[in-house]
Copies of this chain bind each other. A is one copy, B any other.
């Protein structure tokens, strides 16, 4: 696949995927992050790069890389590192999936879980929208989101679902150490069976006249709301 855009290519170069070829315009090829990489860069015009990646939003650079590597659900649930798991129930817009992955990676989340169907997958557009965050973030693809939540609960995780109608505000609970946050699709929210698998539903207070936050803004508020309570400072061993 061909990833494109400055951040998406830069993070692919330092991520887990095999990088086959890199193309850049003359201008982009002299940017320090690319020039200093020591990797051969093939020069091309902006039009040639657009033709290769199929998008005008390439910012002068694209790269041929191996397929995105999804993480196994059991690996995510069994990870000794712990941390927040973000589960997306039918989020369909690549921009939203990318934006949520970017925020999750910045917050140090353990990973993001998406469904196989009626959900955006990790395409080059999502790599771009995530500013390359997906190269460093475990993304798990599951057949059935509700079943994943069942497995997460069996593995000891506590599942919080975002629901605009929930009486409990998102900043009320004292969150578990390794919580699972479940977000529904743009417009429709969580499906009943998915909501039913959550241990607790929480809402973000709306104080204006419009009906809803975007799913990526709601994700940002909740991801930091759930991870921000951990005020402990991690001190490396031996210091």
Contact = CB atoms under 8 A, between A and B. Distances in A.
Given A106-B210, A132-B210, A210-B136, A204 B217 contact: no
Contact of A224 (B133, B208, B221): B221
A217 B99 contact: yes
A214 B132 CA distance: 12
A228 interface: yes
A132 B214 CA distance: 12
Given A136-B209, A208-B133, A210-B133, A228 B106 contact: no
A11 B206 CA distance: 16
Nearest to A224: B221
Chief secondary structure at chain A's binding surface: loop
Interface residues of A, number: 35
A141 interface: no
Given A217-B216, A220-B217, A220-B221, A208 B105 contact: yes
Given A107-B208, A136-B210, 20 more contacts: A7-B210, A14-B209, A99-B216, A102-B213, A102-B214, A103-B213, A103-B217, A105-B208, A105-B210, A106-B206, A106-B210, A107-B207, A108-B208, A131-B212, A136-B209, A171-B228, A204-B224, A213-B220, A217-B220, A218-B220
Interface of A: 7, 11, 14, 99, 102-103, 105-108, 131-133, 136-137, 171, 204-210, 212-214, 216-218, 220-221, 224-225, 227-228
